[in-house]
A = this chain, B = another copy of it.
Amino acid sequence: METFTRDLLDAARGFTPADAVFTNALIFNPFTMDWEQGNLAIKNGLVLGIGDYTGITEYDLSGSYIIPGLIDAHVHIESSLLAPREYARLVAPHGTTTVIADPHEIANVAGAEGIHFMLAERSGAGIDILYLLPSCVPATPMETGGAVLDARDLKKFIGCDGILGLGEMMDVSGVLAADPFIGEKLRLFPIRDGHAPQLRGNDLNAYILAGLQSDHECTRRDEAEEKLRRGMYIFIREGATEHNIADLVGLVTRNNAARCCFASDDCHADMLFERGHIDHCVRQAIGYGLEPELALRMATLSAAERFGLSDRGVLTPGRRADLCVVDDLRQFVVRKVFVRGNMVIPSAFMPCTRPPSPFTCRIPSADELRITGSGEARVIGLVPRQILTESLRYTVAAQEIPDLHRDVLKAVVCNRYRERKCGIGLVHGFSLKQGAIASSISHDAHNIIAVGTSDAEIRTAIDAVICSRGAMVAVAGENLTILPLDCGGLMSTLPYAEVVQQLKDLHTVTKNMGSIDDPFMYLSFLALTVIPSLRITDRGLFDVRERADIPLFIQ
């Protein structure tokens, strides 16, 4: 963006009127972490400055606070179940003006074509959607997703508008082992996000030395403090199942707020609609005792600096006029939002195109779903409010499954891209008392995953997912409730209000089936083989720490 023009300089000097002037507000300055009363002038979508200005339009904001536009440092838009433009339409009124997204999910389904779809959706989105390229497609060499992206594939995106760097490097052991294929990817971009849950000590040093610069997987304060100290940016996450603000926000001080950001990572549309987005993170952080100025530093300039976005994050001359207005710092309800100087107003829904979405699989037969044997079995244990799982052991007999009393249910993964046998496991924590649920969202390969109380209902649910070419489904006897995900099997092509309603309907149904809250979010992470401890893939149970397929029963 050219700022050295006579037109802009004359306006900045006050010789000609600004496009707009915001008067009488307290303006937050992340550089000084304090507030300034003054008149903020903007022109051509850029900040002219705070000073003595008159504008063609003037907004009297007496009693309000102006804050630079909020930035999400790490998000998978696909997890909202919305296509990017619709996602933007939902989060913009919450004050979000920039998101750093990793199109990792669609890339696992549709490869480079999926990324191109996400890039095309930037135009007309209103807010600025910037992408990091998925570094781990597939997540591990053992995965069986829809695509493989090597360094050569990623290199083709260098220089593309909207591409900032390399997304979360989840293959920690590959990095530590100096895997040359990973080295090739790391060398492509100077900006590289990390992903290193529970990594500590010398191995953490090695991971950072390899070139990874951030982490959004901390769940403990001492872990986050060590990573900060070793030079990582810490993205404190408040996602769907991952609620880390309560545990981590105590580490943020005036010394280190510049190295801490907020990230939503994975949030369904209904959560964004009801709770909000980064504004929700700010409210949560303040609620847990963080000074508002530190929370706002994290939500604005810290994220801009982390990604080298020197054109935003603070309202100084020449930067983007991205800003939001609130009346009360603690309640932090965003009243008005401006993106490049334009007020965000409710806009019309724009239908999106669809990326490729293969569903070249079959419904597993009744025989295939059968478990045989008995004894001490490995059971995946959900951890409330986390995406980590525990590796539990239960003494079970196959014919006693489902064990509703002990909440041990069958979990099934069907390869979505190939005709294959499915993987079967056991899971504790869903608390379903009847029926089954299934989804085409299961990180990262996005095979079809189901959990249920009967094989018949599990098969019905999987069938419904395949017939819709992607969906979230709840089956209870004859009743089928469905949210179609016709955009890559991951996202809906509907307006967000309809998606929110369908999600509510699904949640009502699953609640009636006895389920915990948000079962689809937990379900979607059951197959994620890069987060400890026990997972299920289309091959069966997987031990993350051992990086190995393991049998259901302990021999």
Shortest beta-carbon distance from A203 to chain B in Å: 6
Using Cβ atoms and an 8 Å threshold, which residues of chain B touch A201?
Answer: 51-52
B255 adjacent to A33 (CB under 8 Å):
yes
> A228-236, A488-496, A529-537: which lies at the B interface?
A228-236
How many angstroms between the C-alpha atoms of A202 and B21 in the bound complex?
Answer: 14
How many angstroms between the C-alpha atoms of A270 and B228 in the bound complex?
Answer: 41
How many angstroms between the C-alpha atoms of A36 and B208 in the bound complex?
Answer: 18
> A4-12, A116-124, A402-410: which lies at the B interface?
A4-12
Using Cβ atoms and an 8 Å threshold, which residues of chain B touch A202?
Answer: 12-14, 49, 51-53
CB contact under 8 A between A4 and B186, given known A9-B209, A13-B206, A318-B209:
yes
Using Cβ atoms and an 8 Å threshold, which residues of chain B touch A6?
Answer: 178
Question: Does A254 reach chain B (CB closer than 8 Å)?
Answer: yes
CB contact under 8 A between A205 and B255, given known A210-B9, A317-B231:
no
Shortest beta-carbon distance from A321 to chain B in Å: 12
Question: Does A176 reach chain B (CB closer than 8 Å)?
Answer: yes
Question: Does A357 reach chain B (CB closer than 8 Å)?
Answer: no
CB-nearest residue of chain B to A185: B4
CB-nearest residue of chain B to A178: B6
How many angstroms between the C-alpha atoms of A231 and B319 in the bound complex?
Answer: 10
Instruction: Choose from B4, B34, B210, B259 the contact partner of A3 (Cβ within 8 Å).
Output: B210
Instruction: Choose from B9, B204, B209, B259 the contact partner of A46 (Cβ within 8 Å).
Output: B209
Question: Does A48 reach chain B (CB closer than 8 Å)?
Answer: yes
Question: Does A126 reach chain B (CB closer than 8 Å)?
Answer: no
Using Cβ atoms and an 8 Å threshold, which residues of chain B touch A214?
Answer: none
Question: Does A351 reach chain B (CB closer than 8 Å)?
Answer: no
B208 adjacent to A317 (CB under 8 Å):
yes
Using Cβ atoms and an 8 Å threshold, which residues of chain B touch A190?
Answer: 310
Shortest beta-carbon distance from A74 to chain B in Å: 19
Using Cβ atoms and an 8 Å threshold, which residues of chain B touch A177?
Answer: 9
Instruction: Choose from B31, B203, B204, B231 the contact partner of A231 (Cβ within 8 Å).
Output: B31
CB-nearest residue of chain B to A191: B310
Question: Does A211 reach chain B (CB closer than 8 Å)?
Answer: yes
Shortest beta-carbon distance from A255 to chain B in Å: 4
Instruction: Choose from B13, B50, B254 the contact partner of A203 (Cβ within 8 Å).
Output: B13
CB 8 Å contact bits of A1-38 with B (1 = contact, 0 = none): 00111101110111000000000000001011110100
A255 adjacent to B256 (CB under 8 Å):
no
Question: Does A454 reach chain B (CB closer than 8 Å)?
Answer: no
A4 adjacent to B183 (CB under 8 Å):
yes
Question: Does A324 reach chain B (CB closer than 8 Å)?
Answer: no
Using Cβ atoms and an 8 Å threshold, which residues of chain B touch A32?
Answer: 228-229, 255-256
Shortest beta-carbon distance from A181 to chain B in Å: 11
CB-nearest residue of chain B to A257: B255
Using Cβ atoms and an 8 Å threshold, which residues of chain B touch A316?
Answer: 208, 230-231
How many angstroms between the C-alpha atoms of A154 and B33 in the bound complex?
Answer: 37
- Segment 506-530 of A: residues with Cβ below 8 Å from B: none
Using Cβ atoms and an 8 Å threshold, which residues of chain B touch A318?
Answer: 208-211
CB-nearest residue of chain B to A232: B316
How many angstroms between the C-alpha atoms of A258 and B33 in the bound complex?
Answer: 12
CB 8 Å contact bits of A43-58 with B (1 = contact, 0 = none): 0001111111100000
Using Cβ atoms and an 8 Å threshold, which residues of chain B touch A36?
Answer: 229
How many angstroms between the C-alpha atoms of A56 and B468 in the bound complex?
Answer: 63
Of A3, A8, A46, A230, most B-chain CB atoms within 10 Å:
A230
CB-nearest residue of chain B to A30: B255
A9 adjacent to B49 (CB under 8 Å):
no
Of A4, A49, A205, most B-chain CB atoms within 10 Å:
A205
Shortest beta-carbon distance from A527 to chain B in Å: 29
Using Cβ atoms and an 8 Å threshold, which residues of chain B touch A187?
Answer: 4
Shortest beta-carbon distance from A55 to chain B in Å: 13
- Segment 401-424 of A: residues with Cβ below 8 Å from B: none
Question: Does A441 reach chain B (CB closer than 8 Å)?
Answer: no
Shortest beta-carbon distance from A151 to chain B in Å: 12
Using Cβ atoms and an 8 Å threshold, which residues of chain B touch A176?
Answer: 9, 13
Question: Does A552 reach chain B (CB closer than 8 Å)?
Answer: no
Using Cβ atoms and an 8 Å threshold, which residues of chain B touch A52?
Answer: 201-202
CB-nearest residue of chain B to A255: B33
CB-nearest residue of chain B to A51: B202
B209 adjacent to A12 (CB under 8 Å):
yes
Using Cβ atoms and an 8 Å threshold, which residues of chain B touch A99?
Answer: none
- Segment 276-334 of A: residues with Cβ below 8 Å from B: 310, 314, 316-319
A205 adjacent to B49 (CB under 8 Å):
yes
- Segment 113-165 of A: residues with Cβ below 8 Å from B: none
Give the top 6 A-B pairs by smallest Cβ distance, nearest first. Answer: A49-B205, A231-B316, A12-B206, A209-B317, A6-B178, A208-B317
Identify 16 new A-B residue pairs, CB closer than 8 A, beyond the known A9-B209, A47-B209, A51-B205. Answer: A3-B209, A3-B211, A4-B178, A4-B187, A5-B178, A6-B178, A12-B206, A32-B255, A33-B255, A49-B204, A49-B209, A50-B230, A190-B310, A231-B314, A231-B316, A253-B254
